[in-house]
Structure 1
Amino acid sequence: MFNVGDTVVYPYHGAGKIKDMEEKDILGKKMTYYVVYFPLNHVTLMLPENRIGESGLRKTIAMEQLEEVANALKACEAPVKKEAARPYSKENETLLKTGCILDACSVIANLTSKKGARNNGLHMEDRKNLDRAKQFIISELMLVKEMSEDEALSFIDEHAEAT
């Protein structure tokens, strides 16, 4: 499925690199684990191989998909929902949990549009979701395009325009 050295994305954690595969004896049962290092937050996780399919782990996007990412970051022209902060926040959290970069772009586009339409900025939950979405995309851009964190943030900011 995956090999040591592959760059992967783990939902809600962002992009990382498979550093190793280890076999562990857990309660008398041998299990293989992927050891994944996430450079943006300096975290290493061990993911059981037999649960990778249901975990949402995927390979990072290809360079050819960067234009699609840039387009998905553009703020939507749909009207911003009024007085629906809670359900809207939950919708954004659900999108972030999918692990799909285009869903994270959608969160940024929606919240950027919402931020532009509000006089007093975003609610705290929306700000957190916006930051999470940016960090998620930054982590993937850093590995795919070998950008620094600042360069990846600039890429996002350049393409996410308020309408």
Structure 2
Amino acid sequence: MSKTKKNEFRPDDFVVYPAHGVGRIVSIEEQQVAGLTLEMFVISFEKDKMTLRVPTARAAEIGMRSLASPDLVDKAMETLKGKARVKRAMWSRRAQEYEQKINSGDLLSIAEVVRDLHRSDDQREQSYSERQLYEAALDRLTREVAAVSGIDAGGAQKKVEAVLTARAA
């Protein structure tokens, strides 16, 4: 792995870790693991009250990335305006696909899940698992929108919900 790749992220940077969403690099430290000295990114996920240590050499392989560009956030918002695409597959299969999209860390895939699972008040009830997946995707999307736009999570959620309710109208 090249040296330039390793120093792509710096302390205080926001990063997206596929399985957990947006976190902030607190520091880069060395740690002894099985007799080897490994350089680790220490990433804090404030909302989840969790700290993760990721070997710097494996960050790219794991899929850790910088925050989306404002352009990509705009594309994600456009995705939300689209018509929900719900496959006719069994729920367990669809749920698995949604879960994979959410954990891919890909903002557009996450936006697709939010779009496909969003229900306006007059639509049919959502099952518990549908609601869980929707909220997980919405949370990931709003946290990244907040970090990219420099607004708080509440403001980002309003922004996303405004797009979703405009679509439903």
State the TM bucket, normalised to the shorter chain: 0.7 to 0.9
Are 2:83 and 1:76 aligned?
Answer: yes
Take 1:111 and 1:77, find their aligned partners in 2: how far apart are those partners? Answer: 8
Take 1:107 and 1:143, find their aligned partners in 2: how far apart are those partners? Answer: 20
Give 1:63's aligned residue. Answer: 70
Q: How many residues align?
A: 160
Show structure 1 runs of 4+ deviating over 4 A: none
Give 1:123's aligned residue. Answer: 127
Give 2:147's aligned residue. Answer: 143
Take 1:86 and 1:151, find their aligned partners in 2: how far apart are those partners? Answer: 33
* Matches for 1:78-93 after TM superposition, within 5 Å: 78=85, 80-82=86-88, 84-93=90-99
Unpaired runs of at least 5, structure 2: 1-7
State the AA in 2 paired with 1:140.
E
- TM-score, scaled relative to structure 1: 0.87
Compare 139-148 and 24-33 and name the one that shifted more.
Answer: 139-148
Give 1:132's aligned residue. Answer: 136
Q: CA RMSD in A?
A: 2.2
Match of 2:156 among 152, 155, 159: 152
Instruction: Tell me, yes or no, if the aligned pair for 2:83 and 2:115 is still in contact at 8 Å.
Output: yes
State the AA in 1 paired with 2:83.
C
Higher relative contact order (CA 8 A, sep 6+): 1
Unpaired runs of at least 5, structure 1: none
Identity percentage over the alignment?
24
Instruction: Tell me, yes or no, if the aligned pair for 1:31 and 1:48 is still in contact at 8 Å.
Output: yes
- TM-score, scaled relative to structure 2: 0.84
